[in-house]
Amino acid sequence: MRLLPFDYATRNLGRSPGRLVLAVLGSALVVLLVIASAAFVRGMGSSLSLPEENSNVIFLGAGSEESVERSEVSTRAAEVVATLPSVRTRLGERYVSPEVHIALAIRTEESQVEGRLTPVRGVRPTAYLVHSQVHIVGGRTPTPGADELMVGGLVGGQLGVDASRLALGKTLLIDGRPWSIVGHFRAPHTVMDAEIWMALTDLQVVGQRDDLSCVVVTLDPALGDFTDAEVLAAQRLDLELTAMREVDYYGALARFYAPIRAMVLVTASLIALGGILGGLNTMVAAFAARVREVGTLQVLGYPRRAIILSFVQESVIVAATGALIAGVVGKLLLDGIAVRFSMGAFGLVVDAPVLAIGIAAGIILGIVGALPPTLRCMKLPVGQALRG
Amino acid sequence: MSLIECRQLTKKYTRGDNEIIPLDELDLSIEAGAFLALMGPSGSGKTTLLNLIAGIDRPTAGELRVEGTDIARLSRSKLARWRSTHIGYIFQLYHLVPVLTAYENVELPLLIQPISRKERHARVAQALELAGIADRHDHYPRQLSGGQEQRVAIARSLVTDPPILLADEPTGDLDRASSKAILELLLRLNTELGKTLIIVTHDPTTTHYAKETLHLEKGRLVSEAPPALAAEVKSAGDGRGERDA
Amino acid sequence: MRGLIMFSVLMATFAFAGCTTKDSAPKPGGAAGGVSSGLPDGIMLSSAPADAKPLGEVKKSAKKGDKVTFVARVGGTKHPFVDGRATMIVIDSSLAACDALEDDDCATPWDYCCEPRESKTANSATVQIVGDDGKPLALSLKGQGGIEELVTITVVGVVTEKNDEGLMVVNASGVHVKKG
Ligand SMILES: Nc1ncnc2c1ncn2[C@@H]1O[C@H](COP(=O)(O)OP(=O)(O)O)[C@@H](O)[C@H]1O
Ligand SMILES: [Mg+2]
């Protein structure tokens, strides 16, 4: 096909720098929005989904399948669960993690306002075996009885405070009582990243309870499967337990939040549509000023397709530039930002697929934005276009 | 056979109930090497005729052969290709592409021809030379005067070496001195290069250069300018030509 | 876009779930005896044993090793069946399931969510059908001979586990499903 040179498109963009800047920023804004919503959906989704190979089972109090924070499991039940033959064992350690989960109002020392409700998990050392996604990135694990705690990577965002307030050695107040931060951990793309962890017995004291919220065990696929856990729960009615795959537990949560995700997607698409329409308007004006040029090019022998392609090129260059800016800004500013929601927080995830969605949205924006005004422009007979 | 043959050539526009007939059963033969001045009041169908010959518009009825080709029968894309080698079109308002230099504007029609970069360069340089604007090859349209812009436009119409040049009021927007220079340039193209030239004009001085002058009125050829028209042409002739609607 | 896809997948799931629910609904007139697949012959009884008592009453006095015959309904928990094991949970018929309380938006009325935990535990039992190794057979009881959530059954069997905290496991030698 006989095409217009590529720099015909690029040079035309330089015609009115003001409009060019506006167009680039406009599409950057639209794409940033798409990236933000994709990052939201992806962040929420990944915090509630676990790797396929996860073979953890959560034992919850019967009837508390939906919420670990409402669940009660007796210490005796935990002891029985620990004897399940199919539990994984390594170097003599059994992968059994009795846990207490309570949402507590937490505030920093400097803060005067009432603390924010933050998920706190009381654990034994086996928790670090069972929850292999948790990595200690600074300091150490809290010692029982020493009023110590450890914070996850998203706790700052969850509390709405700067990371410096959560440095090692700093103090957090629970019910007015000071707890010192002795460790930092990360568990990216999981709900744990927004949690505070302390010794199991300490949290039992704080929460004034002597039972547990749940027992999480890792099964050894060579020794048995989830059915064994289910049979145990079914046979031991006296323990009042329910066994759930950890994957299913978070899957149910994810389904619970699906409407929020749908809402975010719908809102984002509406705003993006508005952006496209606004962009269309600018394009119509910009291209209408060039009907005579289109006529001239046709008189010179250029086929319509070549002219359409060149105009679309122009618009895609603009939108893709905007998309690149949005991608960089999104990666730098949005990635990892904590979004609070009822059960803690999750981090926005701006990763390759999200960026790809953003860039794709930019390119679509460019094409969809350019085609209608271009085609409208082309519909005019050449003779009339020249008179225009 | 003539280079351009019009038989009963008719162009009609219908808008609701009323019909506009810019060209009404026109018979016209133009020989190769002609230099034809086409005059007539505004709205008499001059541009319409040029556009038909250039294959920009299609006739409603009648026959139009250029070099023996019935161009009304060509598909749109064939027509575009045919036009790019047979017709050079010069506009009153030059229609240069503002973001391209003089050189690049002239090069534009060649980019769709299957020729080497080297040959392209040679032909652009030659066309600029012929049009007497080679020294301004790297200027942008906004850096050129009207007369210089029209020279670039003429170079652009020449660069594909078409046998036919069509000019729609090429001096209509120019002062007297520039008009004269442009007309002299066009005359040279006719005499030295043998281009067939059809110029639509309001400027009576054009007729001094042309070998032949035809008058159009209401879509028909009239043998001579009626007195009223002659007066109008005269008053319009000094300086700026009247622009089409 | 992804939302749309998710949405349609969800819809498809619902549509599919709707179909399967219909298909797996207890078939009227399904004979009680002999139709079960994989269960040992004679487990599914065609007529109800005569001397059956309510589960709650039996549980109060039963000891490990006792031979018992009781009437109960399948349920008392959200998942009364274990997928792939011949184990189910039953509850005394005198307790009110959620649908009986006109709790119409309850999707799982067999979980007896309106009953207090203690009374559920005190009136429930685990019924299993074991193989020669003493472990539950590797098959699901749901659907066997009309066994479904909230169906009333009569169980004949031996108590193998029992304590005062609510534990009671019965290895069944006969199960009769009440029709209608
Ligand atoms: N696309 C069109 N639709 C309707 N009428 C048209 C169109 N193009 C030209 N005309 C009419 O045709 C007539 C001749 O126009 P034109 O050829 O431009 O005249 P000239 O060039 O001699 O001034 C005018 O009345 C003009 O209004
Ligand atoms: Mg005209």
* Position A343 confidence tier, pLDDT thresholds 50, 70, 90: low
B45 CB within 6 A, ligand 1: yes
Task: Flag whether C7 is in a domain.
Answer: no
Task: Classify residue C61 as left (phi > 0), alpha (psi -120 to 50) or beta.
Answer: alpha
The overall average pLDDT reported for chain C is 77
B22 CB within 6 A, ligand 1: yes
Residues in A touching C6 (Cβ below 8 Å): 258, 261-262
Q: Average the pLDDT over each of A10-14, B210-214, B216-220 and give the range with the smallest value.
A: A10-14
The residue whose CA is least distant from atom 24 of ligand 1 is B43
* The pLDDT of residue C18 is above 50: no
Task: Flag whether A100 is in a domain.
Answer: yes
Residues in A touching C136 (Cβ below 8 Å): 231
Whether residues A14 and B89 touch (CB distance < 8 A) is answered with no
pLDDT of residue B229: 47
Task: Flag whether C10 is in a domain.
Answer: no
Mutate to test the interface with A, among B75, B79, B84, B90 (most CBs of A within 10 A): B84
Domain end position, chosen among A236, A256, A276: A256
**CB distance A313 to A6 below 8 Å:** yes
Residue B1 forms contact with A (CB below 8 Å): no
Task: Flag whether C119 is in a domain.
Answer: yes
| Dist. CA B46 → ligand 2 center (Å) | 6
Task: Flag whether A1 is in a domain.
Answer: no
pLDDT of residue A262: 85
Q: Average the pLDDT over each of A12-16, A84-88, A261-265, C28-32 and give the range with the smallest value.
A: C28-32
Q: Which residue of B has its CA nearest to A384?
A: B57
Q: Which domains does chain B have, with CATH numbers?
A: 31-60+80-238 (3.40.50.300)
Task: Flag whether A291 is in a domain.
Answer: yes
pLDDT of residue C10: 35
pLDDT digits (tens, 9 = 90+) for C143-157: 888 899 989 999 999
- Do A236 and A284 lie in one domain? The reply is no
* Position A373 confidence tier, pLDDT thresholds 50, 70, 90: confident
Residues whose CB falls within 8 Å of the CB of residue C96, separated by 6 or more in sequence, listed in order: C112, C114, C115
Task: Flag whether A66 is in a domain.
Answer: yes
Closest ligand (CA of B91): 2
pLDDT digits (tens, 9 = 90+) for A66-90: 788 889 999 999 999 999 999 999 8
Distances (CA, A) of B206 to A22, B43, B94, B191: 48, 19, 18, 15
Average pLDDT of the residues in B99-126: 92
- DSSP code for B196: E
Whether residues B54 and A299 touch (CB distance < 8 A) is answered with yes
Residues in A touching B77 (Cβ below 8 Å): 303
pLDDT of residue A101: 94
* Position C100 confidence tier, pLDDT thresholds 50, 70, 90: low
Greater confidence, C34 or B200? B200
Q: Give percent above pLDDT 90 in chain C.
A: 39
**How many angstroms separate the CA of residue C29 from the nearest CA in chain A?**
30
- Do A39 and A85 lie in one domain? The reply is no
Q: Give percent above pLDDT 90 in chain B.
A: 63
Q: How many residues does chain A have?
A: 388
Amino acid at A271: I
State the DSSP H helix or E strand holding residue A282, giving kind and residue range, or none if neither.
Answer: helix A246-288
B14 CB within 6 A, ligand 1: no
Domain end position, chosen among A256, A289, A322: A256
CA distance A24 to A18: 10
- Do A33 and A94 lie in one domain? The reply is no
pLDDT of residue A250: 83
- Do A376 and A351 lie in one domain? The reply is yes
* The pLDDT of residue C37 is above 70: no
The residue whose CA is least distant from atom 20 of ligand 1 is B43
**CB distance B23 to B82 below 8 Å:** no
Average pLDDT of the residues in B7-25: 90
pLDDT digits (tens, 9 = 90+) for A118-161: 899 999 999 999 999 999 999 999 999 999 999 999 898 888 88
**Domain limits for position A332:** 6-48+257-387
Closest-CA residue to A348 (of A164, A194, A196): A194
Residues whose CB falls within 8 Å of the CB of residue A292, separated by 6 or more in sequence, listed in order: A385, A386, A388, B95
The neighbour count for residue A298, using CB atoms within 10 Å, is 24
**CB distance A181 to A166 below 8 Å:** yes
Average pLDDT of the residues in B120-138: 94
Of C3, C89, C121, the CB nearest to A234: C89
* The pLDDT of residue C34 is above 50: no
- Do A135 and A243 lie in one domain? The reply is yes
DSSP string, C72-101: EEE-SSS--B-TTSSEEEEE-TTSPPGGGG
- Do A231 and A291 lie in one domain? The reply is no
Of B51, B80, B95, the CB nearest to A303: B80
* Position C105 confidence tier, pLDDT thresholds 50, 70, 90: low
**CB distance A369 to A276 below 8 Å:** yes
B92 CB within 6 A, ligand 1: no
Task: Flag whether C150 is in a domain.
Answer: yes
B47 CB within 6 A, ligand 1: yes
Greater confidence, A254 or A359? A359
ipTM value? 0.85
- Do A43 and A66 lie in one domain? The reply is no
Task: Flag whether C92 is in a domain.
Answer: yes
- Do A289 and A186 lie in one domain? The reply is no
**Where is mean pLDDT largest: A14-28, A127-141, A254-268, C44-58?**
A127-141
Residues in C touching A65 (Cβ below 8 Å): 78
- Do A44 and A74 lie in one domain? The reply is no
The residue whose CA is least distant from atom 12 of ligand 1 is B22
Task: Classify residue C84 as left (phi > 0), alpha (psi -120 to 50) or beta.
Answer: left
**How many angstroms separate the CA of residue B149 from the nearest CA in chain A?**
15
pLDDT digits (tens, 9 = 90+) for A36-69: 888 988 888 888 777 667 889 999 998 887 788 8
The CATH number of residue C162's host domain is: 2.40.50.200
Closest ligand (CA of B45): 1
Task: Flag whether A136 is in a domain.
Answer: yes
* The pLDDT of residue C19 is above 80: no
Whether residues A302 and B99 touch (CB distance < 8 A) is answered with no
- Do A227 and A261 lie in one domain? The reply is no
Task: Flag whether C168 is in a domain.
Answer: yes
- Do A205 and A126 lie in one domain? The reply is yes
pLDDT of residue A1: 56
Which pTM was predicted? Answer: 0.68
* The pLDDT of residue A166 is above 80: yes
B157 CB within 6 A, ligand 1: no
What is the number of domains present in chain A? 2
Q: Is C121 helix (H, G, I), strand (E, B) or coil?
A: helix
- Do A60 and A158 lie in one domain? The reply is yes
Domain end position, chosen among A206, A240, A256: A256
**Domain limits for position C87:** 29-177
pLDDT of residue C103: 54
* Structure token pair of residue A355: 């960026």
Greater confidence, B62 or A278? B62
What is the number of domains present in chain C? 1
B244 CB within 6 A, ligand 1: yes
The overall average pLDDT reported for chain A is 87
Average pLDDT of the residues in A260-283: 79
pLDDT of residue A388: 67
